[in-house]
Structure 1
């Protein structure tokens, strides 16, 4: 405590003198700084202190340091800034001596040390931190990575990882980071044959150590993600061919029917990393013996056999060759692993391949089309991929129309609740102008979709609107759809009204239709607004009919909408009877919800003065 008192008292006097001499702060600001420091020093000194008191103190000092830096505007830290940073470091140290169990406080301290350039103190701080928080694997990883990146002390890095793995022998991240660092270190070693009678290079010795790290890890780890990570890392280094084969062999041995690893293997083919023959001739038997059912064993043997018989590994291939190898791998996988997940990997890979059509466009499109066709035939096509396949068939006109119709019918049969797939089928028949099939597909869709069939009604209406001799059928469809009560259908009433007024050009019939639609439930505000607009477009507007639209709107929606009352008032002022304004104003106040009345009165005053 005496040390802390000294720090907060005498050692700060030169800072204040420097600040005053350099005119970095006014005398009043300096007095405020002293006051705040004394207050926070007192809080962190008393027995009832908390870690938050230290956090507050550090925040104040950090803010002050930032202010001083801005005012000095120097290229590097001044003597004052270094002193203030040192003050903050001491507050951290004292705080951590009281609260070493606070992990977040340790992490903030290390972040501060890195930011202020105290890199030489970070390793020691990590070591102290590990005494209290060694139960957390990521702390070991952070310590080792910093040691490697900043101190470049590989012996200390290995020491940290060895100690960390003793406490956390099955931690994936720690095993992987150790593997990755040691592999990178190996990549920098000499490849000259200078060791053991010129039979080995430094790099080959280093690679043997990496293989030992990997072998130790696989004894503890059963998570496939670890193997995926280390395999992806080895791909960055051309000298790891043997290690890659070892990892691949282990993956096939431990996860022979896992969809993800065969997806990884296929993607490797696309990148140019072909399989090499497995070293062990009895590999198939070893792998198959670990599976329970005969079908699983047969499938595994088939896949491993395919992998072993692939083209020699690591050959230079053209893009087309790589695509072909990739597709072959996927086809073998989906043939033996009959799951939706495996097919999705295959289809998504082909789809991704088609995102760039700057090269091998036709070949890529062909592979996507054949994959989709195969998935359809195997009954593993998702709704999403049916949608995509139908678009592809339409765009490329692959095969006769009969095949497209077959695909669309199969799609809606398998996914009868899919609005998008029914749209494809019905729209196709409208384009072909086959009224019989349009009606048939629409009825089937409506039976399956029920209240979700609004988009299909829209397609049907648009089709018949292009035919001048189909007024009766249009009226029939509109009468049917206007009776629907789901929200998606309500705007059809407005469409029917506009169609009658603008296409049939019979305004008396439009008014009659409006009166009928007004009786339907639920009420639709836009119906009344649209009819009011249509009434306003007449050469000699019928004021009574026009007013009726506003009456209907206010009766049905006047409780919750200020705007419809303002519209009604504007109508009476400009076209109707201005004497009704006061009466309408009182009606509105009585009708509106209480919380809306004040705003309405305010808007009415603006309305009266002509501001709105």
Structure 2
């Protein structure tokens, strides 16, 4: 190992001597560089090799290169021999190459080398690195795209870029990303040629493109699209994903027609197709429209949406998706319509909502949107009627039941019971919370409120039990003080095992609060019982419980200071090892603060 390290260091001497003679680094600094490189070399040669060692060496050389460039500029040192000028950069490349021989499968390492080569402008090295990386990672579409982009944009070599993407597609024929980027690149190439011709004002040479007319009409991109849909069949979203790319370029109407005709012919009833067809005339508008033009386009769009709905036939699922798309467009028109046409857009949207609802074609999400729209317009009575229709169509829908309850002013309790019967028990917490809030706001009798809390506690759902238990305790304290709270939590603690930690915390908090506000002489006794029960369940995982118990004995009137030592010993014994250090540090801080106060 020592011989290899010595040989590697000797090969660096000419470059280091020139850096010293040019004044960029002093003799002592050169010695330090040699020493640091020697240390790195020994680490790189040890077994097993570690990627972190290579990255540390690379990072050091990068910092060294930054320092060299800064000093050269500051000192005005003229450019030296090529080897000295690029010696550090070449060493970084060498370190990356050595690392990649050891860790060929590490894609992140390849990308780091690629990024470094880009920053340095080493295009030849970058081409070689891409080639080696793709040989190791041929199934990574993003890497093929990155390599092709480099050839196209940096090397100005469309043939190589096209060849790379074609090779990537032979390896990954089902990669949607590769097909879309290949399509985009062909359009970019054609667009650049068109712009170059426009600037130069000359025709394209025959040798540049064999079929210039076809080339300029985006024939290459058209062929890519055909190949893509042949390889990835019956995927409507994939075919439609070509449209946003096409719309980025001018003079692509024929290509747009090809895509629209293809999806309409292949998927004649699909909602996404008809949404795309209906929205087509709104895409790429450069000039503002008059009200008359806007109204005409809106009528044409409505007709297309209605045709799509008719094409869906008796398939209820498809019909509902068509209506969702139409209603979404109606909402967009309300948001984007000029002020002179906004009222008309609102009427259109409400008419569409009503028609879809009456025909049974309104989805759960759109029912909720319908209700919210009516509330926004101040039509609360209509919103209540719609929410009733919604819960009839989707009886297990929690959002629709909450909307219905929110718009209800009478027989709320009866409606809440109905909602609890219909909605999945595991999702009923919002209904219980709504019911409790309504009861508290409307000053219902205490017995009825207490009965309501007990109903939530006994629901059999953990989330409802925890939330209702905590609120029950807080309400009990607010209406009956610590004694009523004590009766409530004793009942609660016997309801469910294990008792949730949050419930213990709330019981302890309210007992301590009662002790501070108006002690009845029994609070310390009950607090100790609570802490002991809580620690029996959670003593190994919650240092805060131990600290709270110790603090109570230390600081509260009537506390037993002699118990503190035993509690500390038990805590150290029972807590998980990873929690003991935290407990000890917090205990020491608390104990010192207590001593200062004393």
**TM-score, with length taken from structure 1:** 0.70
Q: Which residue of 2 aligns with 1:518?
A: 490
1:207 to 212, 217, 222: 217
Q: Which residue of 1 aligns with 2:68?
A: 68
SS at match of 2:248: coil
Q: How far did 1:391 drift?
A: 2.0
Q: Does 1:438 align with 2:438?
A: no
Q: How does 1:157-196 map to 2 (within 5 A)?
A: 157-158=161-162, 160=164, 172-187=176-191, 188-189=193-194, 190=197
Query: Cα–Cα, structure 1 residues 346 and 595, in superposed 2: closer, same or farther, change >3 Å?
Result: farther
Q: Which residue of 1 aligns with 2:366?
A: 385
Query: Cα–Cα, structure 1 residues 163 and 453, in superposed 2: closer, same or farther, change >3 Å?
Result: closer
Whole-angstrom CA distance in 2 between matches of 1:513 and 1:49: 65
Please give the per-residue CA displacement for 1:453-507, whole angstroms capped at 9, x wherever unaligned.
4543443444444556845544544554566671121023223313424xxxxx6
Q: How does 1:481-520 map to 2 (within 5 A)?
A: 481=456, 486-501=465-480, 511=483, 514-515=486-487, 517-520=489-492
SS at match of 1:519: helix
Check whether the contact 2:117–2:123 (CA below 8 A) recurs between aligned residues. Answer: yes
Q: How far did 1:228 drift?
A: 2.4
SS at match of 1:609: helix
Query: Cα–Cα, structure 1 residues 144 and 582, in superposed 2: closer, same or farther, change >3 Å?
Result: closer
Q: Does 1:585 align with 2:560?
A: no
Q: How does 1:553-568 map to 2 (within 5 A)?
A: 553-557=530-534, 559=536, 560=539, 561-566=545-550, 568=552
Q: How far did 1:441 drift?
A: 0.3
Whole-angstrom CA distance in 2 between matches of 1:482 and 1:134: 58
Q: How far did 1:107 drift?
A: 5.2
Please give the per-residue CA displacement for 1:39-62, whole angstroms capped at 9, x wherever unaligned.
766898999999998777655533
Query: Cα–Cα, structure 1 residues 393 and 115, in superposed 2: closer, same or farther, change >3 Å?
Result: same
Query: Cα–Cα, structure 1 residues 153 and 527, in superposed 2: closer, same or farther, change >3 Å?
Result: closer
Aligned residues: 543
1:544 to 499, 521, 524: 521
Query: Cα–Cα, structure 1 residues 388 and 593, in superposed 2: closer, same or farther, change >3 Å?
Result: farther
Check whether the contact 1:375–1:381 (CA below 8 A) recurs between aligned residues. Answer: yes
Q: How far did 1:247 drift?
A: 1.9
Q: Which residue of 2 aligns with 1:293?
A: none
Q: Does 1:594 align with 2:573?
A: yes
Q: How far did 1:527 drift?
A: 3.8
The structure with more radius of gyration: 1
1:260 to 272, 282, 305: 272
Check whether the contact 2:327–2:353 (CA below 8 A) recurs between aligned residues. Answer: yes
Any stretches of 5+ residues in structure 2 without a counterpart?
Answer: 206-210, 540-544
Whole-angstrom CA distance in 1 between matches of 2:471 and 2:95: 71
Q: How far did 1:254 drift?
A: 2.3
SS at match of 2:560: helix
Check whether the contact 2:309–2:323 (CA below 8 A) recurs between aligned residues. Answer: yes
Q: How does 1:321-340 map to 2 (within 5 A)?
A: 321-337=296-312, 338-339=317-318
Q: Which residue of 1 aligns with 2:119?
A: 115
Check whether the contact 1:186–1:203 (CA below 8 A) recurs between aligned residues. Answer: no
Q: Which residue of 2 aligns with 1:233?
A: 245
Whole-angstrom CA distance in 2 between matches of 1:542 and 1:170: 74
2:513 to 533, 544, 547: 533
Q: How far did 1:320 drift?
A: 5.1
Check whether the contact 1:390–1:408 (CA below 8 A) recurs between aligned residues. Answer: yes
Check whether the contact 2:476–2:488 (CA below 8 A) recurs between aligned residues. Answer: no
Q: How far did 1:116 drift?
A: 0.8
Query: Cα–Cα, structure 1 residues 608 and 386, in superposed 2: closer, same or farther, change >3 Å?
Result: same
Query: Cα–Cα, structure 1 residues 451 and 495, in superposed 2: closer, same or farther, change >3 Å?
Result: farther
Q: How far did 1:16 drift?
A: 1.9
Query: Cα–Cα, structure 1 residues 443 and 132, in superposed 2: closer, same or farther, change >3 Å?
Result: closer
Q: How far did 1:149 drift?
A: 0.8
Check whether the contact 1:40–1:57 (CA below 8 A) recurs between aligned residues. Answer: yes
Check whether the contact 1:558–1:592 (CA below 8 A) recurs between aligned residues. Answer: no
Whole-angstrom CA distance in 1 between matches of 2:302 and 2:567: 71
Q: How far did 1:443 drift?
A: 1.9
Please give the per-residue CA displacement for 1:505-558, whole angstroms capped at 9, x wherever unaligned.
xx6xx7356435423335644245335534644xxx454244455345334335
Q: How far did 1:568 drift?
A: 3.4
SS at match of 1:490: helix
Please give the per-residue CA displacement for 1:321-363, whole angstroms capped at 9, x wherever unaligned.
5555444433433443343554544455555666667855445
Q: How far did 1:392 drift?
A: 1.8
Q: How far did 1:416 drift?
A: 4.0
Q: How far did 1:408 drift?
A: 1.8
**TM-score, with length taken from structure 2:** 0.72
